[in-house]
Amino acid sequence: MPLRPDALRSPQPAERNEKNTKRKQTVKLGLSLAGLVTHRIVMPIRPENRWLYPIDWPQLSVTVRFERAGARCEHCARPHMRRVAHLGDGRWWDADAKCWRSTRGRRIMLKGFALAAVRTTYVVLACAHLDHDPGNSASANLAALCQRCHMIHDAAEHRWQRWWNVFRRRAIRDLYEDPRITRERLAKR
């Protein structure tokens, strides 16, 4: 029997069931929203730490970032919600002051640089706990940091957290795992 010309065509919009269409719309919406909000989800509060934050944390964070820091990173002086050009090593172009700045926000002179090395990044300030303790929200322990400075500041803590998670997993396994399973698992390596 010859194939009808429409046998292989994809279903037309009218033929799709409503559920399918709805799902598509949700996916579309999700994607478009994701594009809008990614810059806001830079330093999410870890769920297990959420209860440590004071109830007025959003206001506290706003006060530190905007009133105290003037919407600039307190380590490198990059401006909040602006796209800045940088050289990838922390040195960046301050378009307002028309000068290059160091990782510490100081004006610097550049004798020359490869144009190819220039990149741009969108700056988002978040309020950081300098001692990594979300329970310590004293003003001196808070700093408005851009994502670069935040990550550098947190790097040691992240390394420690990774080590601690692995250690904890191993310790729990050593306590509760059946030794025969441990032997099998080690034999597979």
Residues that bind Zn ion (CB under 5 A): 73, 75-76, 146, 149
Tell me the residue ranges of DSSP E strands in the chain. 83-86, 92-94, 99-101, 107-108, 119-122, 125-129, 142-146
Give residue for tokens 């990838």: 88
Angstrom distance (rounded) from CA 85 to CA 89: 11
CB of 26 to Zn ion, least distance (A): 37
Q: Name the 3-class secondary structure at 79.
A: strand
Nearer to Zn ion, 125 or 137 (CB): 125
Least Å from the CB of residue 149 to Zn ion:
3
Q: What is the distance between the alpha carbons of residues 130 and 143, in angstroms, rounded to a whole number?
A: 7
Q: By C-beta, is 75 or 86 nearer to Zn ion?
A: 75
- Name which of 52 and 85 has its Cβ closer to Zn ion: 85
Q: Which is nearer to Zn ion, 137 or 148 (CB)?
A: 148
Measured from the CB of residue 102, what is the shortest distance to Zn ion in angstroms?
11
Give min distance, CB of 108 to Zn ion, in A: 15
Reference 104, options 43, 145, 57, 68; nearest CA is 145
